[in-house]
Amino acid sequence: MIELVLVTGGSGLVGSAIKRVAKEFKSFFVDAQMDFVFTSSKDYDLELLKDCQEMFDDIQPKYVVHLAACVGGLFKNMNNKVEMFEKNMMINHNVIKCCHDFGVKKTICCLSTCIFPDNIKYPISEEDLFKGPPHNSNDAYAYAKRMIEVQSQAYRDDFGDNFISIIPTNIYGPNDNFSLENGHVVPSLIHKCYLAKQTHDPKGALDEVTAEPFTVRGTGKPLRQFLYSDDLAKIILKILFAYTGNDTIIISPSEEHSIGELAESIASAVGYDKPLKYDSSYSDGQFKKTADNSKLMKFFVNDTFKFTSLEDGLKETVKWFEENYPNVRK
């Protein structure tokens, strides 16, 4: 009998990555005869409990990877706090409740490192999650995502449900949302750099005097750990089928890069050879949120897994963006 793995948010950045890499990981689930079902907001409105119940009733999943969320970059989090809080609270409550009500064997929920306390000693570990308030730039979103772990722990305590939270760092890759205003930092900067390159193109309508420079909001100094989406997808599948614990796990490479370094790498991948501009009138947000990946690395001991370098991941992401422009999400 085939057992189904439901992936909510299946058309998004990480869901699309799971589709790409699942074939490589058949060895983890072929004996159990498992298959994947990917759903999106076009299929069910997970803010509505009745829609969520309908989804579980239709699919009857035995495993769930919960990726669906209302997400955005720094400025969306700062300017749309009610939306970010309420939508995520409703989505997460409904999915986790249905995972219990429909007897799901194992559930993985995806959080974010932005939910960690602002004033905390670095590197951040899984045990630091509730040791203080998050940064005020994304507090509404962060508190809503923290509640996933609270609700999951409650179901573990009361009913013994196998609900696991993972906390990835800044994810990027093909099929991201490349919105200039509401996208995360990597896709937003890729889109900006692409447009800046077009205005400098000698075949274009604009000359060097009127061309728009590649402009990065903020000083470019904040530090982040960037995680390629295919790497995260592989780790999720291994946790789903090979991890026997239920502890929360941070998913992150060890290396940190400044936003300035990121922008320079994007410019190189896009082929933009003009000077970059930094607009310090915009907020930098949280300066750093260094995550400790030691628990993850212990899980991967004796494994051949290696994280994709930022340079290689950006090349693949830019290639996908250019090949699919103008049909990308933006």
How much is the pLDDT for 71?
Answer: 80
pLDDT category at 205 given cuts 50, 70, 90 is: very low
SS3 155: helix
Instruction: Estimate the crossing angle of helix 185-200 against helix 310-324, to 10 degrees.
Output: 60
Averaged pLDDT score across all residues of the chain: 90
CATH code: domain 3-174+225-253+289-308 is 3.40.50.720
Is-above-0.75 flag for pTM? yes
pLDDT tens, residue by residue, 139-196: 999 999 999 999 999 999 999 999 999 999 999 999 999 988 878 899 999 999 999 9
Long-range contacts of 242-245 (CB under 8 A, 24+ apart): 242/28, 243/164, 243/299, 245/164
- Which residue in 44, 141, 228, 272 is the catalytic one? 141
The reply to whether 141 belongs to the active site is yes
Sequence-ordered alpha helix ranges (H) in 249-304: 259-270, 294-299
- Distance in angstroms (rounded) separating the CA atoms of residues 174 and 242: 26
- Residue 57 contacts residue 9 (beta carbons within 8 Å): no
Q: Of 34-38, 76-80, 161-165, where does mean pLDDT reach its minimum?
A: 76-80
DSSP state of 307: P
- The tens digit of pLDDT for each residue in 230-239 reads 999 999 999 9
